Amino acid sequence: MTPGPAEAGAPQDAHADLLAVIPRIARLSAALTKGRLVERATDAAGLALDRPAMSVLVSLRTTGHPLRIGEIADRMQVVGPHVTRQVQALEKRSLVRRVADPQDRRASLIEPTDEGTEAADRYVAYILGWFAETLTDWPRQDRDDLLRLLTRLADDTTARLTRLEEGDGSGTG
């Protein structure tokens, strides 16, 4: 269990290293989601799509299999109706299609069309190329460590948030 303020002194003392990195994480997050990088990657995809629509395409592409609207919403951390509107717009542009859910004939799954897959691939290739250029001067070991540690952070954070949502309150057990 994480010590509380009374057990570990003032929060800034107990977690000074984490506190120092939070502004950097916030800047990185903003740069990736709101900055020109996303605009340039969308341009590279060859489609005039807004960020949420592109996020739906990329979610579908990186998952590698059709998803329900609710699953897409969970991955994007938004509500279902928001994704429904995006999917409808993408369907009109023939970038996604609905397919029958083999587990439940009443439900449908969403999958990218060939054109949607190609657009998502161009978008992801641009983003990955940009990151590769950013890290080009890093020693191989540093790049490997970054990948390993980011993967671990993402997995551990996701698992802890899942426990929190399942009612464990602390997200630790």
Q: How far apart are CA 46 and CA 119, in angstroms?
A: 7
Cα-based distances in Å from 153 to 135, 157, 159, 165: 19, 6, 10, 18
Residue 21 lies in a domain: yes
The pLDDT tens digits for 60-71 are 999 989 999 999
Residue 28 lies in a domain: yes
Tokens 């290293």 sit at which residue?
Answer: 17
Residue 106 lies in a domain: yes
Residue 120 lies in a domain: yes
Residue 161 lies in a domain: no
Q: Which helix (H) or strand (E) holds 54?
A: helix 51-63
Residue 173 lies in a domain: no
Domain count, the chain: 1
Task: Look up the CATH number of the domain holding residue 25.
Answer: 1.10.10.10
The pLDDT tens digits for 118-172 are 999 999 999 999 989 999 999 999 999 999 999 999 899 889 988 888 876 555 5
Is there a contact between 16 and 50 (Cβ–Cβ < 8 Å)? no
Share of the chain above pLDDT 90, in %: 48
Q: Which helix (H) or strand (E) holds 108?
A: strand 104-112
Residue 165 lies in a domain: no
Distance of CA 15 to the CA centre of its chain: 26
Identify the domain containing residue 55 by its residue range: 13-134
